[in-house]
Structures are given as structure tokens and as C-alpha cells.
Amino acid sequence: MGSKAVRNIMDKEKLTEEFTRLCKSVVPDTPYKNVLFIDGKYFVSLTTNKWKVKGRDTWYRYKSAEDLTKRYFYGDYGREVEKNGN
């Protein structure tokens, strides 16, 4: 295993820990490889910095775990989406 592969494994573990700290529920076993299932409605990729809503096909980019959770999952935008039922 090369040093790049080891670094990627460490990055994925660190990102998983960060999402676990920031989110209510994190499930690491999903139908997708290297993807977390968060709060029963979001899929988050650990390798491509993309996320999507369960049942939707569009993947969106995110900067960091903290930005994603604050801005879309638990921030004003996330509350607006939940209120409208989208």
C-alpha cells in the first residue's frame, strides 16, 4: 500500500469522525462505496466531496463537513427545505 493510499484512508477516517461529531446520526454502511448515510436522508461521499438527498439523483459539492452540516443540514437553508417538504 503506497503512502497516498494510506493518506486517503486516514483522510476518510478523519472525515467520518468529523461527521459523527457534527451530525445526529451517521451510518457508514451504505449501498455506495466510501459514502456515509446521515440523519436518515443524506448520502455524503468521503472521497469526492459530494452529497445528495435520499431519493434524488443529483450530487452536490461541499467544502467541508462543518460547512455542509451548518449550511444545508442544520442551518437556515436546511430548515427552509424541511418546512417546505422538498
Render each residue's pLDDT in the chain as its tens digit; 86 residues: 444 554 577 788 899 999 999 999 999 888 888 899 999 999 999 988 899 999 999 999 999 999 999 988 987 654 444 444 44
Locate 35 and state its grid cell.
459514502
**Domain count across the chain:** 1
Instruction: Please state, in angstroms and rounded to a whole number, the distance separating the CA atoms of residues 22 and 14.
Output: 12
Q: Closest Cα to residue 36, out of 74, 75, 65, 79? A: 65
For position 2, what pLDDT does the model report?
Answer: 47
Find the domain containing 32 and state its range: 3-84
For position 4, what pLDDT does the model report?
Answer: 52
Q: Closest Cα to residue 15, out of 68, 54, 52, 59? A: 68
For position 7, what pLDDT does the model report?
Answer: 54
CA dist 50 → 2, 83, 84, 85 (Å): 25, 24, 23, 22
Angle 68-23-8 (CA atoms, 0-180°, nearest 5)? 65
